[in-house]
A and B are shown apart, each in its own frame.
Chain A
Amino acid sequence: MRQLLNTLYISTDEAYLRLEGETLVMSVDKVKRHQVPLHHLGAIVCLGRVGMSPQLMARCMSDGRSIVWLDENGRFQARVEGPVNGNILLRQAQFRAADQVDKALMLSKCFIAGKLRNSRNVLMRSARDNPNEVEREQLAKAAKALAINLRNLEHAESAASVLGLEGDAGRVYFEQMNTMIKPAMRNTFEYKGRSRRPPKDNVNALISFLYALILNDCRSALETVGLDPQLGFFHEVRPGRPSLALDLMEEFRAVLGDRLALTLINRGQLQHGDFDYREGGAVYLNDKGRQTVVRTYQERKKETLQHPVLETEVEIGLLPLLQARMLARYLRGDVETYIPFFNK
Chain B
Amino acid sequence: MLILVSYDVSTETAAGRKRLRRVAKACKNYGQRVQKSVFECKVDAATYELLKDAVLKEISLTEDNLRIYRLTEPLSKNVQEFGKFKAVDFDAPLIL
Judge: A and B partners, yes or no.
yes
User: Taking the complex as formed, is A35 at the interface, i.e. its CB lies under 8 A from any CB of chain B?
Assistant: yes
User: Is the pair A35, B90 in contact by a Cβ cutoff of 8 Å?
Assistant: no
User: Is the pair B96, A34 in contact by a Cβ cutoff of 8 Å?
Assistant: yes
User: Taking the complex as formed, is A37 at the interface, i.e. its CB lies under 8 A from any CB of chain B?
Assistant: yes
User: Is the pair B25, A21 in contact by a Cβ cutoff of 8 Å?
Assistant: yes
**Residue of B whose beta carbon sits closest to that of A25:** B28
**Residue of A whose beta carbon sits closest to that of B90:** A40
Considering residues B29, B42, B47, B96, which has the most beta carbons from chain A within 10 angstroms of its beta carbon? B96
User: Taking the complex as formed, is A11 at the interface, i.e. its CB lies under 8 A from any CB of chain B?
Assistant: yes
The 8 A CB mask of B60-84 against A (1 = contact, 0 = none) is 0000000000000000000000000
The 8 A CB mask of B6-38 against A (1 = contact, 0 = none) is 000000000000000000010011111000000
Residue numbers in B under 8 Å from A9 (CB-CB): 93-96
Select the stretch in A151-159, A229-237, A293-301 that faces chain B. A293-301
Cβ-neighbour of A35 out of B32, B41, B44 (below 8 A): B32
Q: What band does the interface of chain B fall in when counting residues whose beta carbon is under 8 Å from A?
A: 10 to 19
User: Taking the complex as formed, is B2 at the interface, i.e. its CB lies under 8 A from any CB of chain A?
Assistant: no
User: Taking the complex as formed, is A3 at the interface, i.e. its CB lies under 8 A from any CB of chain B?
Assistant: yes
Residue numbers in B under 8 Å from A7 (CB-CB): 94
Residue numbers in A under 8 Å from B43 (CB-CB): 39
User: Is the pair B91, A15 in contact by a Cβ cutoff of 8 Å?
Assistant: no
In chain A, positions 272-307 with a C-beta closer than 8 Å to chain B are 291, 294-295, 298-299
Q: What band does the interface of chain A fall in when counting residues whose beta carbon is under 8 Å from B?
A: 20 to 34
Residue numbers in B under 8 Å from A35 (CB-CB): 28, 32
In chain A, positions 56-91 with a C-beta closer than 8 Å to chain B are none
User: Is the pair A294, B95 in contact by a Cβ cutoff of 8 Å?
Assistant: yes
User: Taking the complex as formed, is A23 at the interface, i.e. its CB lies under 8 A from any CB of chain B?
Assistant: yes
User: Taking the complex as formed, is A212 at the interface, i.e. its CB lies under 8 A from any CB of chain B?
Assistant: no
User: Is the pair A10, B96 in contact by a Cβ cutoff of 8 Å?
Assistant: yes
**Residue of B whose beta carbon sits closest to that of A290:** B95
User: Taking the complex as formed, is A12 at the interface, i.e. its CB lies under 8 A from any CB of chain B?
Assistant: yes
User: Taking the complex as formed, is A113 at the interface, i.e. its CB lies under 8 A from any CB of chain B?
Assistant: no
User: Taking the complex as formed, is A318 at the interface, i.e. its CB lies under 8 A from any CB of chain B?
Assistant: no
Considering residues A22, A36, A299, which has the most beta carbons from chain B within 10 angstroms of its beta carbon? A22
Interface of B is mostly: loop
Residue numbers in B under 8 Å from A294 (CB-CB): 93, 95
Residue numbers in B under 8 Å from A33 (CB-CB): 96
In chain A, positions 7-39 with a C-beta closer than 8 Å to chain B are 7-12, 15, 21-23, 26, 33-37, 39
Residue numbers in A under 8 Å from B31 (CB-CB): 37
Nearest-Cβ distance from residue A91 to partner chain B, whole angstroms = 30
User: Taking the complex as formed, is A6 at the interface, i.e. its CB lies under 8 A from any CB of chain B?
Assistant: yes
User: Is the pair A36, B95 in contact by a Cβ cutoff of 8 Å?
Assistant: no
User: Is the pair B90, A26 in contact by a Cβ cutoff of 8 Å?
Assistant: no
Cβ-neighbour of B93 out of A3, A23, A39, A298 (below 8 A): A298
User: Is the pair A37, B29 in contact by a Cβ cutoff of 8 Å?
Assistant: yes
Nearest-Cβ distance from residue B30 to partner chain A, whole angstroms = 5
Residue numbers in B under 8 Å from A295 (CB-CB): 93, 95
Residue numbers in B under 8 Å from A298 (CB-CB): 92-95
User: Is the pair A6, B96 in contact by a Cβ cutoff of 8 Å?
Assistant: no
**Residue of B whose beta carbon sits closest to that of A297:** B93
With A3-B44, A37-B90, A40-B42 known to touch, is A8 a contact of B96 (CB < 8 Å)?
yes
Report which A residues bind B (CB closer than 8 A). 3, 6-12, 15, 21-23, 26, 33-37, 39-41, 291, 294-295, 298-299
Beyond the given A9-B96, A37-B30, please list 16 additional residue pairs across the A-B interface where CB-CB is below 8 A. Answer: A6-B91, A9-B93, A10-B96, A11-B96, A12-B96, A15-B96, A22-B29, A23-B28, A23-B29, A33-B96, A35-B28, A36-B88, A40-B94, A291-B95, A294-B95, A298-B93
Sampled A-B contacts (10; CB under 8 Å): A9-B94, A23-B28, A33-B96, A35-B32, A36-B90, A37-B30, A37-B32, A37-B90, A40-B90, A295-B93
